[in-house]
Chain A
Amino acid sequence: MSQHSSFRRRATRLITSGAVVATGLLVLSACSTGAEEGGDSEYGFAAAEQVADSPITVWVDASREPAVTAFQEAYPDIDVVLETYDGNAGGSGSFQSKISLMDQAGDGWPDVVFSTQQNDAIWASKDTPNGEAGFAAPLNKGFIEQDFLDGFAAGSLDYATIDDTVYGLRNDLAQTVFYYNQKLLDEFGYEVPTTWEEYAELGDQLAAEHPGYILGSMGDSFMTYVYYGGSESPVFQSPEAGVFHSDTSDENAQKISEIIDGMLENGTLVQDSFFSAEFAANYADKLVGVPGPVWYTGAIFQGGLATPAGEIGVAPPLSWEGGDVAAGNVGGGIWYASRHSENLEAVKTFLEFVTSADEFQVEASSGYPAYTSAAEKWLDKQAEAGYFVNDDFKTVMSDAANQIWSGWNVTPWSPETAWAKVVIPGMAEGETVVSLLPAWQTELENEATVNGYTVE
């Protein structure tokens, strides 16, 4: 080997390693660009430097797209970039995962996010692992006027409120009631059940006399809220921050599980998701009654099942015989603003519009608006359309909102994932819910531990 070529080889090696180091530095420096924060402003938090008229990015699930469309029509001057995601449905956690990525990157956050879950404020209000402020902007420290916030139904902002700071605006209320099909009840000569026991008896009767007709479905994991929250079963409790309690051996949990098992057995509860094409195809005219949140009105009856006006009635939530009326709470989406937004004025206009303006909440939203003035108009609209058979549906619905059982709490993880992982596949295999309860509880407690909670 000549001196010459060995020198050249060394030079090449040097150049190569130089290039490698340079690339490495480039990559590292790209990672460490932090968000630039402006001073403590009129918003009550350290806002990013504002850029007038900059576009705002909004994440919604498919059902909330009309909100963005309505906003764009009402405010054509504000540039909105619409991005659809799964809305965190089923406790998928995609909201948090995506934001964590952006926190890590220090860039790319959306300005407004809609989530179908109630627990996001817990993580979104906390500092990131890097020690920077959490994603959600505090709303009641100067950003949004107290007058506007006072317009929400009492207690409806509780899930998004942590230590007196409001981090999210409620889209819709989600108290459970009992829906019934008056036409079918009349035809069969049945009464509307008022207790869980009567609900089970109706199931037995229906299965024996009119097989093929149903009283609900267990195919969605949010049934945890409907059947366990609604039956006052102490399955998902966080009596204080950092403490988790679950007791599936409790009498209520056992009783409601036995009722579910009996109705799965006799076929009055099915296992297709309410949102599946099969459910609409097979059961649109077979659903005699069902406990469910008030958003079933638009999302299920007027939506998927396309039940005509004048058939459906609304009764108070089911209770135990001799017990108090207690409603479950099934979601009720929440809108969050990003603390990193560069156009907070537009964000504010957007949030106020989608939660309170008639164009979305009254005209296009499927649920029961959380903003009181919009809720009244929404109820009037249903009354005008003569959708419900009973005249007192307004009081039934608004009473139920105040009867939500306080023994079901929110934590950083969703109760739905454990149900989906353990109970839904078990039911599909033909196992009884009662037999799956211990495994469900173990999974819930394991999740609690992973999330740093103490199980008591």
Chain B
Amino acid sequence: MSAGQSRFGYVFVSGYTLLLVAFGLLPTLYALFLSFTRNGVFVGFDNFVRVFNDYRFLPAVGHVALYVVFWLISLIVLVVVLAIVVHGIRVRWLGDTARFLFYIPGAIAGASSVLLWLFVLDPSVSPVSALLRAMGYESLVNVVAVGNLPVVFTVIAFWAGAGGWIVIMYGALNNISADIMEAARIDGAGALQVAWHIQLPMLTKWISYMGIMSLAAGTQLFVEPKVLAQATKNVVPEDYSLNQLAYLYAFRQGDFSGSAAISVMLLVVALGLSTIFIFRGKLFERD
């Protein structure tokens, strides 16, 4: 690489770096500052203790944890399986169409996709109301009962987010050298064996990348319950997820320190889990 090229490298990353600092790093530092102070005075772990003892905190942790488990497992399993299946389709137009169809919902932005699901989930207007009624749900209130929410949010998130990942995995599969695939086939490996012994191991990095990104998005669950809470007039509780609780702390109770404490806890947990993904998924290892 010449000196000129490496200088351009800096130019390319500078935009991202500036935004990262302005909207990622500085807010994080500000949150750290807020979480250990109250009205500018250092208070140690007081804010964390107060938030932890809030009757809404542990239920919110439970809700988010359950959702993240549902969402990550379904995402990883289904996306990988679907990508391998689509990749295995020999008919070109069929494969292209499938990828296109998977991708479309991803084009609808967060809140509006939830609005769309509001209609799907309400038996009185849903195009699949027969299915909902067959499952014993007579009204929207039944469908969005707190016990069902992890599944509901998983379905919404999968629908909106999986398509993009399928396309990425598809690209990753394309990257696997044709020689290896051919060698495997000559050795007599069937499609399943190829998938299990060759494609999956070579996708590990991508899968852990998807895991990290989705974990970060999943723990920050906010838009879905917020829109549903608004639409159902709080039948979906406004304190369902941790981020909603942080929002209530800041903008209902005017307690920005407590809000920051929740955010910092989320950050620590997400960082910890991401570290596991990074090292288990060999994300930083060079080929």
Binding site for B on A (CB under 8 A): 5, 8, 12, 16, 19-20, 23-24, 27-28, 86, 89-94, 96-98, 100-101, 104, 123, 128-129, 220-221, 271-272, 276-278, 416-417, 420-421, 424-425, 428-429, 446, 449-451
Q: Is A429 within 8 A of B142, CB to CB?
A: yes
A221 in contact with B142 given A20-B18, A450-B56 (CB within 8 Å) = no
Chain B contributes a number of interface residues (CB within 8 A of A) equal to 37
Q: Please classify the interface of chain A as helix (H, G, I), strand (E, B), loop, or mixed, using the class held by over half of its residues.
A: helix
Which residues of the partner chain B approach A12 to less than 8 Å between Cβ atoms? 7, 10
CB-nearest residue of chain B relative to A281?
A: B124
CB-nearest residue of chain B relative to A278?
A: B124
Q: Is B233 within 8 A of A23, CB to CB?
A: no
How distant is B229 from chain A, measured CB to nearest CB, in Å? 8
Q: Is A23 within 8 A of B18, CB to CB?
A: yes
**Is B272 part of the contact surface with A, judged by Cβ < 8 Å?**
no
Q: Is B251 within 8 A of A420, CB to CB?
A: no
Q: Is B230 within 8 A of A86, CB to CB?
A: yes
Identify A420's interface contact among B56, B142, B234, CB under 8 A: B234
Which residues of the partner chain B approach A272 to less than 8 Å between Cβ atoms? 139
Q: Is A23 within 8 A of B21, CB to CB?
A: yes
In the complex the two chains form, what is the Cα distance from A98 to B251 in whole Å?
Answer: 7
Q: Is A271 within 8 A of B139, CB to CB?
A: yes
The segment from B86-94, B196-204, B253-261 found at the interface with A is: B253-261
Identify B238's interface contact among A27, A93, A276, CB under 8 A: A93
CB-nearest residue of chain A relative to B238?
A: A417
Q: Is B238 within 8 A of A20, CB to CB?
A: no
How distant is A22 from chain B, measured CB to nearest CB, in Å? 9
Which residues of the partner chain B approach A92 to less than 8 Å between Cβ atoms? 229-230, 233-234, 238
Which residues of the partner chain A approach B256 to less than 8 Å between Cβ atoms? 104, 129
List B residues 37-84 near A (Cβ within 8 Å).
39, 54-56
In the complex the two chains form, what is the Cα distance from A128 to B229 in whole Å?
Answer: 26
In the complex the two chains form, what is the Cα distance from A276 to B140 in whole Å?
Answer: 12
Q: Binary interface profile of B, 125-166, with partner A (CB < 8 Å = 1, else 0)?
A: 000000000000011011001100000000000000000000
- The 8 A-B pairs of least Cβ separation, nearest first, read A90-B233, A97-B251, A420-B234, A100-B251, A428-B141, A129-B254, A446-B55, A421-B237
Identify B234's interface contact among A24, A221, A277, A428, CB under 8 A: A221
Q: Is B142 within 8 A of A428, CB to CB?
A: yes
Which residues of the partner chain B approach A94 to less than 8 Å between Cβ atoms? 230
Q: Is B18 within 8 A of A221, CB to CB?
A: no
How distant is A16 from chain B, measured CB to nearest CB, in Å? 7
Q: Is B141 within 8 A of A271, CB to CB?
A: yes
How distant is A420 from chain B, measured CB to nearest CB, in Å? 4
Which residues of the partner chain A approach B139 to less than 8 Å between Cβ atoms? 271-272, 428
In the complex the two chains form, what is the Cα distance from A94 to B233 in whole Å?
Answer: 12
Identify A16's interface contact among B14, B229, B254, CB under 8 A: B14
Q: Is B234 within 8 A of A128, CB to CB?
A: no
How distant is B93 from chain A, measured CB to nearest CB, in Å? 42
How distant is B98 from chain A, measured CB to nearest CB, in Å? 37
Q: Could you list some 13 contacts between A and B, CB below 8 A?
A: A20-B18, A24-B21, A28-B26, A86-B230, A91-B234, A93-B238, A123-B254, A129-B255, A129-B256, A277-B124, A420-B234, A425-B145, A428-B141
List B residues 219-254 near A (Cβ within 8 Å).
229-230, 232-235, 237-238, 247-248, 250-254
Q: Is B233 within 8 A of A5, CB to CB?
A: no
Q: Is B141 within 8 A of A424, CB to CB?
A: yes
Which residues of the partner chain B approach A417 to less than 8 Å between Cβ atoms? 234, 237-238
Which residues of the partner chain B approach A97 to less than 8 Å between Cβ atoms? 247, 251-252
A20 in contact with B21 given A97-B247, A421-B234 (CB within 8 Å) = yes
A450 in contact with B141 given A19-B14, A100-B250 (CB within 8 Å) = no
Q: Is B3 within 8 A of A425, CB to CB?
A: no
Q: Is A27 within 8 A of B26, CB to CB?
A: yes
CB-nearest residue of chain A relative to B39?
A: A129
Q: Is A425 within 8 A of B7, CB to CB?
A: no
In the complex the two chains form, what is the Cα distance from A278 to B125 in whole Å?
Answer: 10
CB-nearest residue of chain A relative to B142?
A: A428
Which residues of the partner chain B approach A23 to less than 8 Å between Cβ atoms? 18, 21-22
